[in-house]
């Protein structure tokens, strides 16, 4: 019943239908049912070509004739349903739902409330709510569809798979992982029972289940399902499809999480190859960024730096050099240069990150404070002690503005100021700042188990011995 299920392959089909309309009108007079069928089919052909206005006009003409001759007939319901799809594409969501509900009412009247076509329209209503972002309504309609389909078909029919999947994905979005897993596993069960092993819906199911396991913290189970999905997608879609890249990227992240850096890099390298082949350059930069993170985790700082720098070059070439991605990469690259005592390069990167984050988030953002905090210690290593102190005072101001006086980030800012004053040999001020940090930690209930608290307490004791 959906538009994509109707015969509407090419322009010649539309042409023949238009000729048929003229012939039927000449022989039978205007407003005849055979012309209505042709108009309906022409509407489907226009819809397939995304000519939405033309499609809607044809459906409206077909609907008018069918109502004239048939009244509340299932053919009228089908045209209403297809019109609703066009209205949805035009983002006329309210009207789309109105027509679907009208179609459902006619089908229930003509065919009975448990008919297969009623179940289909019930699913479409859920789908509209789902794409609108109204997940609670979508969930309710998908569950109604499941009940209807179990009556119209059977408890284990393959047609239940799409509703099980839709429900499972909504529950995943709502972080209701156990229930999501129940529905997604049922979708997989009915599909594996009826469909061939190399079916794309099964591959998607495997991928979705893998991500539920990932978010439940069960990384090994997640990898198992994603590896199966990847194998099937390569067979069905070829090696250069975006789904292969997406699965490889996800696997790269999960392998890295398990500490398997070689597998992580192999998966990300395959994702990189696909993006380079398809010339999706921002995705190339994303993947290089992810590879840099893995190299850094593996302790290979030089390779991480190369990946970050290549990512930045690509973003600059594709006019994204001042975007959020580049700001984050500059920040991460600054960290690496900072760690290797390449202080001038670190400061250059931090300055890029600071400008970008201030433009994106404003000067009182915690993202800005993170950059300033790192810059401060580079200033100190460069002998720019006043600049270092000014940066840390600004960090404290932003943290207080963002979190209030009683927060771990504020306490940490006090501690860092204490460290800086201690390095400057300003023991009385350093002691005050360490005590400020200790007081902030105590107010929020953090004590000796926190390493920064313990360090602050030790430093207060050491300063007291020296004063």
Q: Which of 38-42, 72-76, 165-169 shows the lowest mean pLDDT across its residues?
A: 38-42
* Average of per-residue pLDDT across 381-403: 94
Domain assignment present for 77:
no
In a domain, 462, yes or no: yes
Q: Residue 114: what are its φ and ψ, rounded to 5°?
A: -105, 15
* Lowest-confidence segment of 13-27, 50-64, 150-164 by average pLDDT: 13-27
**pLDDT(16) > 80:** no
pLDDT at 324: 67
- Cα 120 from Cα 168, distance rounded (Å): 18
Query: Quick check: is 421 in a domain?
Result: yes
Give the mean model confidence (pLDDT) for residues 346-358.
Answer: 95
Please give the Cα distance from 223 to 207 (Å, whole number). Answer: 9
Is residue 267 a part of any domain in this protein? no
Q: The domain spanning residue 443 has which CATH number? A: 1.25.40
- The reply to whether 456 falls in a domain is yes
Which pLDDT score is estimated for 7? 44
Token output for 188 = 């997989």
Query: What do you get for the CA distance between the two ends of the chain, in Å?
Result: 86
384 in any annotated domain: no
pLDDT band (50, 70, 90) for residue 320: low
Range of the domain at 439: 404-466
Question: What was the pLDDT predicted at 8?
Answer: 44
Task: Answer positive or negative: Cα dihedral of 334, 307, 299, 326.
Answer: positive
Q: Into how many domains does the chain fold?
A: 1
Tokens (6 digits) for 6: 């109707």
**Model-wide pTM > 0.85:** no
Q: How many angstroms separate the Cα of 258 from the Cα of each of 44, 218, 345?
A: 50, 11, 32
pLDDT more than 90, % of the chain: 80
Say if CB 402 and CB 373 are below 8 A apart: no
Place of tokens 């529950």: 171
**DSSP H helix total and E strand total for the chain:** 22, 0
Q: Is residue 324 part of a domain?
A: no
| Residue 442, domain member (yes or no) | yes
Cα dihedral 121, 123, 124, 127, rounded to 10, equals 170
């Amino acid at each position: 019943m959906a538009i994509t299920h109707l015969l509407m392959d090419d322009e010649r089909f539309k042409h023949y239908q238009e000729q048929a309309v003229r012939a039927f009108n000449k022989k039978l007079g205007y407003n005849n049912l055979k012309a209505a069928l042709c108009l309906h089919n022409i509407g489907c052909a226009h819809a397939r070509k995304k000519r939405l206005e033309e499609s809607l006009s044809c459906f409206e003409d077909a609907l008018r004739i069918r109502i004239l001759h048939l009244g509340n007939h299932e053919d009228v319901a089908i045209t209403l349903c297809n019109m609703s799809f066009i209205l949805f594409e035009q983002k006329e969501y309210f009207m789309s739902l109105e027509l679907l509900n009208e179609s459902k009412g006619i089908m229930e009247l003509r065919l009975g409330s448990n008919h297969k076509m009623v179940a289909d329209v019930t699913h479409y209503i859920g789908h509209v709510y789902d794409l609108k972002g109204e997940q609670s309504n979508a969930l309710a309609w998908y569950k109604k569809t499941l009940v209807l389909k179990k009556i119209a078909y059977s408890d284990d029919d393959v047609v239940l798979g799409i509703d099980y999947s839709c429900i499972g994905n909504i529950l995943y979005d709502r972080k209701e992982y156990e229930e999501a897993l129940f529905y997604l596993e049922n979708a997989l069960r009915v599909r594996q029972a009826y469909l061939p092993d190399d079916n794309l819906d099964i591959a998607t199911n495997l991928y979705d289940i893998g991500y539920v396991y990932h978010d439940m913290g069960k990384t090994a189970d997640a990898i198992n399902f994603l590896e199966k999905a990847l194998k099937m997608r390569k067979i069905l879609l070829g090696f250069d499809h975006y789904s292969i890249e997406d699965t490889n990227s996800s696997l790269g992240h999960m392998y890295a999480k398990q500490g398997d850096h070689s597998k992580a890099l192999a998966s990300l390298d395959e994702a990189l190859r696909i993006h380079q082949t398809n010339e999706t350059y921002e995705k190339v930069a994303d993947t290089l960024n992810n590879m840099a993170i893995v190299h850094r985790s593996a302790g290979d700082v030089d390779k991480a730096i190369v990946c970050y720098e290549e990512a930045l070059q690509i973003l600059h070439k594709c006019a994204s050099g001042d975007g959020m991605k580049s700001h984050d990469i500059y920040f991460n690259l600054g960290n690496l240069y900072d760690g290797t005592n390449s202080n001038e390069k670190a400061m250059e990167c931090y300055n890029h990150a600071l400008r970008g984050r201030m433009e994106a988030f404003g000067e009182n953002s915690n993202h800005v404070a993170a950059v300033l905090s790192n810059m401060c210690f580079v200033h100190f290593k460069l002998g720019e002690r006043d600049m270092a102190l000014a940066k840390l005072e600004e960090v404290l101001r932003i943290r207080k503005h963002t979190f209030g006086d009683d927060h771990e980030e504020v306490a940490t800012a006090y501690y860092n100021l204490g460290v800086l004053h201690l390095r400057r040999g300003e023991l009385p001020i350093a002691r005050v700042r360490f005590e400020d940090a200790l007081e902030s930690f105590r107010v929020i209930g953090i004590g000796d188990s926190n390493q920064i608290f313990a360090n602050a307490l030790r430093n207060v004791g050491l300063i007291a011995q020296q004063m």
